[in-house]
Amino acid sequence: MAAEHVEQLELFPFGNIREVLNLPPPPPLRPSDALRAAFRPFSEYMQAKEFTANTIKAFLNDMNLLAEYLGEKATLEDCSTHKLEGFLHWLRYERDAPCSLRSLDRRITTLKVFFQWLADHHVLPDNPAEPLAHYGAASPLPEILSDAQLDALLHLTRSMRDASESPDARPHLLLTLLLDTAIKKAECLRIRLEHLDLSDLNQPSVYIHYEKPRQRFKQRRLALGAEFVPTFELYMRRYQPKERLFECTGRNLEYVLHNISDLARLGTRVTFEMLRWTSAVRSYKAGMDAERLRRRLGLSQIAWHGTWPILQKLAEGPL
């Protein structure tokens, strides 16, 4: 039963992604150009992607260190994986001021973002920083739900929705919304009724809106599952929200998830984060490509570098 809620859902069209994100034109660079020649267009790219000022400053400092290590005559095509590994070894063991593992991990992220930018614009044939592994201590993997656990939850929430006495559609609406979209708790609480597009009952969608300009990259329109509209109609009859989809606190919605966890006897408490990871892993296993999945989750390129390996590890386990 869980499969119908976790199938690969399409992102709705973003239009011209370069116009939407206000990105600069591709950099006029060649593989034979000096490494330092890429720093200005890289800075412009980061500004257009609304990286914070501190992040831009840190990334450019990291790239200046790479240029210092490789020499002023180093070109973009000189930056092989082997040389980047040598740079990291120099930073950690040979430089006068060895950097901490935390700083080293940040610098690995810098390299991955910089060279992925060049690879995406076909300046380089591939990203030589892609094989670089982070040094940070491994954190416990997030907990996700199995198929059996999801089946138990969905069976319970459907029965609550369809009960002959005191039916309650809110648990099923919340559960399926989170499984369909993988949105965060804060994003869920911000959904206004006008953010729902139910004009096509066969393809309902929700618009995830952000007010701050620097967070525009997180805005996205996500498809909703087949059960959303009939469940939403039952929910509206009982709760009659006026402006927001859920006119309650985040703690109230957490109680809803905890309650259905207990009633379904899962042996664990379901959380927003658990459902977000569960949904993301199912999209990954359904074949959603990395860039589309990143946009579905509303993650920046930097955050994605930490998220992608976790998704891959989670997907290796049984659901």
CA 106 to chain CA centroid, Å, is 18
Number of alpha carbons in the 13 Å side-chain half-sphere of residue 220: 23
User: Does the residue 134 lie in any domain?
Assistant: no
Residue 293: CATH number of its domain: 1.10.443.10
Question: Do 48 and 167 lie in a common domain?
Answer: no
Q: Please, what is the angle between helix 228-239 and helix 170-181, to 10°?
A: 140
Average confidence (pLDDT) over 241-253: 96
Answer whether residue 22 is part of any domain.
no
Q: Which of 120, 150, 182 is the last residue of a domain?
A: 120
Look up the CATH number of the domain holding residue 45. 1.10.150.130
271-300 confidence digits (pLDDT tens): 999 999 999 999 999 999 998 999 999 988
Residue 192: C-alpha distances to residues 241, 245, 305 (Å): 10, 5, 31
Dihedral of CA atoms 85, 88, 90, 96 in degrees, nearest 10, equals 170
* pLDDT for position 141: 86
The domain of 96 spans 31-120
pLDDT tens digits, one per residue of 101-117: 888 888 999 999 999 99
Kindly report the average pLDDT of the chain as a whole number. 88
Question: Residue 182 above 90 pLDDT?
Answer: yes
CA torsion through residues 30, 32, 37, 38, sign:
positive
Residue 219 lies in a domain: yes
Global pTM reads 0.70
Cα–Cα distances in angstroms (integers) from residue 218 to residues 18, 20, 182, 315, in the given order: 15, 11, 13, 24
Whether residue 301 lies inside any domain: the answer is: yes
Give the tokens for residue 203: 């393809």
Question: What region does 165 belong to: left with phi over 0, alpha with psi -120 to 50, or beta?
Answer: beta
Residue 118 burial class via C-beta count within 10 angstroms: exposed 0-12, middle 13-18, buried 19 and up = buried
Same domain, 243 and 112: no
Residue 127 maps to a domain: no
232 in the same domain as 98: no
90, amino acid identity: W
pLDDT digits (tens, 9 = 90+) for 203-224: 999 999 988 777 777 889 999 9
Q: Mark whether 259 and 185 lie in a shared domain.
A: yes
Could you tell me if 115 and 145 lie in one domain?
no
Instruction: Give the H/E segment covering residue 222.
Output: strand 220-223
How many domains does the chain contain in total?
A: 2
Our CA angle for 176, 229, 291, nearest 5°, is 55
Q: Which of these three, 120, 149, 179, is where a domain ends?
A: 120
Cα 264 to chain centroid, rounded: 29
234 and 163 fall within a common domain: yes
Are residue 107 and residue 210 in the same domain, yes or no?
A: no
